Amino acid sequence: MRIAITQRLDREEEEKPFEVTYYLNNYYKEIFDKLDILLIPVISENRLEEVCSLCEGLILTGSSNDVHPKYYNEEPIKEKTYDRFDEYPFVKKAVEVFNKANKPILGICAGIQELNVIFGGTLNQLIPNHSLKKYNIDRHKIEIKKDSFLYKVYHTENMEVNTYHSQSVKEVAPNFTVTAISSDGVIEAIENGNIVGVQWHPEALKDIKFFDKFFKTFVK
């Protein structure tokens, strides 16, 4: 099996101010090596149709770059700045290509936010108590909807996930269902057929069961 995966972006502000780095966390390599799935890195809008024809699905890894509110017709709030770089147009095109081919799409962290905006939803630009702390990765409880893909993975309505984000889904995109929510009301997962978005990072939890179940369920 071959799965396309978008790369995370970062910029070395001090040492290399003009260079942008595309990278993938080592967690993905460890998990997908065990699953014997070949990951195909994607960093460009060019020839996405060809990439799609080669792959059975798409993973949006998310990034530290928040989706600009102009994409859901809102103005930036004063507490937020959007001045790094904009990968949304690339991600949107990749999602459109794979969705048109009816191939499964998995959005992780910022990936769920990108999916929600792409399909017509909006975001909370800033939420408290869910951001990554430098030396202490917090966890919080979520409640899982029983009739959902997530429930089929974990067979429980309650579990703990990690906390990495400062934005979240606000108005859910049409045709998507909320399938997990945190104890403080933040939307943690949305689903629409073979498109699933989760707000946490299952790869950082080394949750091989989650990825295995996703592709066994949705890859035809």
Write the CATH number for 80.
Answer: 3.40.50.880
Q: Could you read off the pLDDT of 89-132 as tens digits, one per residue?
A: 999 999 999 999 999 999 999 999 999 999 999 999 988 665 55
Predicted pLDDT of residue 127: 80
pLDDT band at 218 (very low <50, low <70, confident <90, very high): very high
How far apart are the C-alpha atoms of 77 and 126, rounded to whole Å? 9
Please give the DSSP secondary-structure letter assigned to residue 18.
Answer: T
Catalytic center residues? 109, 201, 203
How far apart are the C-alpha atoms of 213 and 110, rounded to whole Å? 21
Claim: this prediction has a pTM higher than 0.85:
yes
Q: Could you read off the pLDDT of 7-45 as tens digits, one per residue?
A: 877 665 556 556 677 778 889 999 999 999 999 999 888
Q: Is the pLDDT assigned to residue 136 strictly greater than 50?
A: no
Give the number of domains in the chain. Answer: 1
Contact call for residues 33 and 48 (beta carbons, < 8 A): no
Full residue range of the structural domain in which residue 6 is found? 2-218
How far apart are the C-alpha atoms of 45 and 127, rounded to whole Å? 31
Q: Could you read off the pLDDT of 144-179 as tens digits, one per residue?
A: 999 999 999 999 999 999 877 678 999 999 999 999
How far apart are the C-alpha atoms of 110 and 216, rounded to whole Å? 24
**33 or 78: which carries more pLDDT confidence?**
33
- Length of the chain (residues): 220
How far apart are the C-alpha atoms of 107 and 5, rounded to whole Å? 10
